Structure formats: structure tokens, C-alpha cells
Amino acid sequence: MANLHKFANPTLFLRLSRALLPWCVGIAVVTMAVGLYLGLFVAPPDYQQGESVRIMYVHVPAAWMALFVYTLMAVASAVSLIWRHLLADLVAKAAAPLGAGFTLIALATGSLWGKPMWGTWWVWDARLTSVLILFFLYLGHIALTHAFDDPGRGARAAAILALVGFVNVPIIKFSVDWWNTLHQPASVLKLGGPAIHPTMLWPLLLMAVAFTFYFIALLFLRVRGEIAARKLRALQLARAAR
């Protein structure tokens, strides 16, 4: 545990994140440019869906990130509740709007994809409904974080919500296996290997790398901003007390 404590130190985080930030931005820009070019221009159309399949290269990485960011938030919230690390609070707070954004992208692109393929913008099947609940969990987390004058109390309430809401993550992932849904089952992360042709899988994986590094870069920036805001608040309080 002693080693992990070192990384929870905000000063070390500031130093590390400053060094890593340009690399994350660089990787995100390059992989997104190449991934979008391959996905939109080079990858073949699908045998069933034709050109509409290209929505996948944005929809699927966004949906993966929606789940990944929430999982990260739940882990940070557990660390914050159990070990009371300030940095874990800040990570959860900084990640929530980013996760909400990814979820909204997944919902919107999914809707645009559903109309031409399924014949409907929206249905209340288990997958779509559980992802909508995930979006509301993100919004609730943001609201709860800001609902208290004392940021520490807001962070605790939001951490409890993030942990309780975590039960939704496995429900989203396995909804297509547990129940009849209109949404098809998993294509990439499934037993027996991906059911997706390599010419389409590679652009998809590149886009997933791009989304991940884009998220890490934004998270670094936002946590740095949160640390600065906390310092400012402490200074203002000290000045007011004088």
C-alpha cells in the first residue's frame, strides 16, 4: 500500500501529468486521424448494413468509454470512501462529465444507426434502457457533487451514488445475453473471438485507442484544474479567517 500512497500525492500527480499530457494528446490526435480515415474511407461496407456500418467506428468506442469511465469512477469512489484520498475524489469529480459526454455520443449515434437499420430511433429494450440509466447516473453524480457547500460532503454523497450505480455496468454488458433485445450481442469482446472482419476490426480498435487517450488527456487537464481550484479555495478561506 505504501507505494500506492506515493501516487495519490497531488504534487507527484501534477508533475507526472504534465510530463505525460503531450504524449496522450499526440497519440489521441494521430490514432483518431488514422482511425477515422481508415473507418470512413478505407474499410469496406458491411454485407448486410452497407455504408451505414461506418457509424460503428464512433458508436462502439464511445459506448466502451461510457462503461470504462464509470468503472474508473466507481474504483476512485471506493478508494475515496475507504482510504480518504483527496486525489480519488478529484478524479471521480473530473471524470463524471466526460463519461456523460461519451454516453450521450453512444446514445445519439446509436439512435442515428437504429433508424436506417432497425427501422426505429429508439426502443425500450434492455440494452438501450440500461445505457439511458447510465446517462442519468452520470448526471446525478454531477448534480450531487455540486449540491453541498462543503465539497468534501458533496464528494462523499457522489461516491456512494457511484458505487451503488456500479451494479448497472455488468447489467449493460450482459443485457444482450440475458434477455431478448433488439440490440445485437457483442461482436468484439466475446467467447470464440471477434465476429468482425479484420479489415473492420483494426479501424475500430484504433478508434478505441484514440478515445482512451483523448479521455486520459482531458482527465489530466480537469484534475489539474480541480487541484488548482482546491488550492485557491484554501487560500481564500485562510485569507477570510485572517
Q: Residue 134 or 176: which CB sits closer to other proteins? A: 176
Residue 37 or 179: which CB sits closer to other proteins? 179
Check if the beta carbon of residue 88 is closer than 8 Å to that of residue 8: yes
Among 126, 134, 137, 219, binds other proteins (CB under 8 A): 126
46 by DSSP, 3-state: which?
A: strand
Site string for other proteins, 201-230 (x = CB under 8 A): ------------------------------
Establish if 199 lies at the interface with other proteins (CB under 8 A): yes
Q: Which residues contact 161 (CB under 8 A, 6 or more apart)?
A: 137, 140, 141, 144
Angle (nearest 5°) at CA 221 between 219 and 224: 105
Shortest CB 186 distance to other proteins, Å: 6
Q: Which amino acid is at 163?
A: L
Distance, in Å, from the CA atom of 236 to the CA atom of 224, rounded to the nearest integer, reads 18
Q: Is 163 in the site for other proteins (CB under 8 A)?
A: yes
**Residues near other proteins (CB under 8 A), total:** 43
Q: Decide: is 185 part of the binding site for other proteins (CB under 8 A).
A: yes
CB of 195 vs other proteins, minimal distance in Å: 5
- Alpha-carbon separation of residue 111 from 40, 105, 116, 129 (angstroms): 19, 10, 9, 12
Cβ nearer to other proteins, comparing 33 with 51? 51
Shortest Å distance, C-beta 167 to other proteins? 5
Minimum gap (Å) between residue 12 Cβ and other proteins: 21
The reply to whether 135 sits near other proteins by the rule CB under 8 A is no
The CA distances from residue 68 to 6, 96, 148, in Å, are: 24, 11, 27
3-state SS assignment for residue 19: helix
Q: Give the C-alpha distances (Å, rounded to integers) separating 57 from 109, 182, 194, 234.
A: 10, 20, 15, 44
Q: Does 48 sit near other proteins (CB under 8 A)?
A: yes
Q: How far is the CB of 233 from other proteins (least distance, A)?
A: 26
Q: Quick one: residue 51, left, alpha or beta (phi over 0 = left, psi -120 to 50 = alpha)?
A: alpha
Phi and psi torsions of 50, nearest 5°: 65, -140
Of 8, 25, 27, 117, the residue at the interface with other proteins (CB under 8 A) is 117
**Residues between 49 and 108 that touch other proteins (CB under 8 A):** 49, 53, 56, 78, 81-83
What residues line the site for other proteins (CB under 8 A)? Answer: 44-49, 53, 56, 78, 81-83, 116-120, 123-126, 163-164, 166-167, 171, 176, 178-182, 184-187, 190, 192, 195-197, 199-200
